[in-house]
Structure formats: C-alpha cells, structure tokens
A and B are shown apart, each in its own frame.
Chain A
Amino acid sequence: MTYSLQFGQIMRDIPYILGGAWPTLWLTFVIFFAAAALGLFIALVRLRGGPVTSRLAGLWVTLTTNSPLFVILFFLFNGLPNCGILLSPIAATLIAFIAISSGYLAEIQRGGIQSVRQSELDAAETLGMSRWQTVRHVIARHVIKTVSPALSNFFIFTMLGTSMASLVGVNELTGRAIEVTSRTFRSIEVFSIVAIAYVVLSLAASMALALVGRMLFRVRMRVV
C-alpha cells in the first residue's frame, strides 16, 4: 500500500488550520495564569493555613495531580449533563485544565516559597521592611526567579496539552486539523503541518519566556 503526499489538496485549508493557533494560545494563557493564581493560593494555604485548611489544600493537590486530565475533561463534558449540568466545550476545557494544573503549579510555587532563605528574611526584618515590603521586594522576586524554569516548562506543557480540548469539540489547532482531515482524508499532510505549528509555537514561547526570565529576574535559562 502506498501513500502519496498531496499537499496541494489542503493548500486552501492551511490558513484555516494555522488560524487555530490563536485559540490554542489564548486557552494556554487563560489556563496558565488562572491555574498559577489558584496554585499560589493553594500553596499559601498549605504553608500558612490552619490544620484543617492546610490538609484540605494538600488533599486538593493529591487529587488533582493523580487524576488523568482526559478523564476529568470527559467527566465534565459527557458525565455532568446526566446531572443536568451542561458545560460548553470551552468551559469544560478551562475547568478541567485549570483544576489539574493548579495542583502541579501549587507544588512548584510551594517549593519556591520554601526556598527563600531565613537569612534573607532576617536581613529584610532588620533593614526595617514591613511584611508586605518583604513579600514584594524579597520573597516575590526570589520565588519568581526560583520557579521560572519550572513554570516555563509547565507553560509549554499546557500549550501542547490544549490539543486534548479538540476531543470535546474545541476548534483550536488540533480541532481544526481533525475537521480538515475528516473532509480531505489527507491526515499525514494536515498533521505534519500541525506538528510543525506546535514546534514553532513551543520554541517561540520558550525563547520569549527565557528572555523575560533573564531580563527581569536574572534567571539563567538558555534562550535557544
């Protein structure tokens, strides 16, 4: 059996497929920043909360980091309608991704917060910094610098992971590829282009994140 590549058949669809990069990007940004904010809250509750709230935060981390994203996504999109809760594909995607990512991001940020040295806190205190000033000038900068590489990786991981949203009908990069394939049956051509698009997006995001980290937070990360 032979398969001859015929990119000519999908030429007209290429702009449409590549247009899916925008939903991929905005989904990534919304998921990442919402999950990072939720993760920071969970990390702080775990570190500074009372015995009960701290355990609840720990339980959330355990549940989310041990649940398959795909199962959660299908549960929300296909299971909840049986209980009368109907979520749009975008809503189900956002909830599933933010919930799962928040557990991982909580742990990354908890590690960063715990890496702040007591000596730096002592210095801040004796220099007369208030608690808020210490957070702003010492802890936040230290944590961002420490967790930047892990957060950058997680950003890329999230961007590639959004392809899963196509399975509940979100029309992002992969969703559009599936749609065009079902019309043209040129799956190798279509997914080759999509694969290249993901690689270009990932490399661009990696470089941008490394540059931001290097310029703002003196993070030693390779740009290329």
Chain B
Amino acid sequence: MAHLEITALGACYGKVAVLDDVSLSVERGELVGIVGPSGSGKSTLLRALVGLVPPTAGTVVLDGHAVDYANALSLRAMRDQTAIVFQQYNFFQNMNVLENLTVAPVKIRGRNRSETEKEARALLARVGLADKEKAYPDELSGGQQQRVAIARALVLKPAVVLLDEVTAALDPELVRDVMDVVQDLARDGITMLLVSHEMGFIREAAHRVVMMDAGRVVEVGPPAQIFGDAQQERTRAFMSRIIRH
C-alpha cells in the first residue's frame, strides 16, 4: 500500500483551476522530486495536500486513511503526520529559534516541554545550528533560517515532509547546506515531496521525479527517464531549455 495516494486532485484559486486531475502514488520512505515551469502547480499541490488550498476534487489517502478536508478532525490528523517547509520559512518573527521549534509540539500537541526542548536542540545540532537556539529569525542568514525551518518540521516527528522550493531564496553557496540536510533525511527513510528548481540535486537524490505543467502531471518516472529519456514532448521541451540555460 502506498504511503500517500493522490487521486484526481483538483484545486482552484477563486475561479481559476490551478490543479487538474493530479494523481500520484508515493511509497513509504520515497523522495519524490516535483519539477516544472513557474505556475505549473507544484507549490499548490503541496499547499493543497495540507489544506492551505482546499482541494475541490479528488481524494488524498495518507497511510490508508482518506483525508476529509472539510472535516477539522480529519484535517488535523493529516497535519499531525505531515510537515511542510516553505520557501519563505514562515517563522513566527517574535519567537526565538527554540520557541519556533517547540511552540507547536508543546502548546498545541501537549508534549512535555523539557523533552521537546531536548529533541529540538538535538535537531538544531543535526542541522548544524546548535548555537543559534536563542537567536531570532531575523538574526539568521537565509541558509540558517531554512535549516531551522527544516528542524521545525522534524520536531513534529512527521511521517511525510513537504519541501516547497526550500532553496529558491538562497545564495548558491548556501543551497548545498540545505540540500545536505534533505539528503540526510532521505537516508532516514522519511517520505518526502520536494518541489525544487535544483535539477542537479533532484537528479542525484530523488527516487522518482514528477513533471508538472499547467496544473497537471505530465510525466512521472525515475530521474534517468525524466532528465535523459523523457516520454512526453512537454517534458523534453522543458528539460532541453533547462539544460541549455
């Protein structure tokens, strides 16, 4: 049974359809890269999965349980197992790093504060930021903020991590730091969906790649297929432009 089964998912911004008949099956522990031109619906797919953009059609089954996006309890159960890391980090600016990591597990999920803080510190050490727990988000560099954002996602012990263009706002030299962390997670067997323009990284780390365009899935396959032997003309056109530039 797939860990995450998306079937014929649709979503709209107002009256504009931004996802149309998207289907994807993700195995447990799989790292799936999502590529495609801007506006193709990659980020919207992740936002729809966590209910930030409510799906208007289709079904999502996580770990054998269908998600009812109109039902608060069902949505909460889904969000308990899923963490999303945003391109712009989305920190609570008035909380320091440690508070940003612990506010949800302690205040929302009622976990023990000292244990959670211990776990949070361990995660900060894992992403190389053990000395930044008292810093505020605006005191960190872009790469540091993104690594803290990943640690914040992990402290919730998610079964699925959604990464939305996590390197898009970073200087090229900082991209490697963040990607190292992502690759480290992949080795831990966390199921991940990664939206990114870092084609080299996706080619190297992803188990499968999804090519999207105009809100639809154009092609799904292993990196070797998508990057070297695409079956669809749209994928070939996209990849040739990427390679040319």
Contact = CB atoms under 8 A, between A and B. Distances in A.
Contact of B88 (A119, A133, A137, A141): A119
A220 B123 CA distance: 30
B94 A129 contact: no
A126 B91 contact: no
Contacts of B94: 141-142, 145, 217-218
B224 to A, nearest CB: 33
Interface residues of A, number: 19
Interface string A114-154: 00010110111111110001000110011001000000000
Interface string B49-93: 011100000000000000000000000100110111010111111
Contacts of A122: 52, 86, 90
B104 A128 contact: yes
A128 B88 CA distance: 19
Contacts of B238: none
Contacts, number: 55
B90 A128 contact: no
A176 B89 CA distance: 57
A125 B51 CA distance: 9
Interface residues of B, number: 25
A127 B94 CA distance: 17
B40 to A, nearest CB: 20
Q: Summarize A's interface: helix, strand, loop or mixed.
A: helix
Interface in B107-136: 107-109, 136
B217 interface: no
B159 interface: no
Given A126-B79, A128-B76, A119 B86 contact: yes
Contacts of B52: 122, 125-126
Interface string B178-216: 000000000000000000000000000000000000000
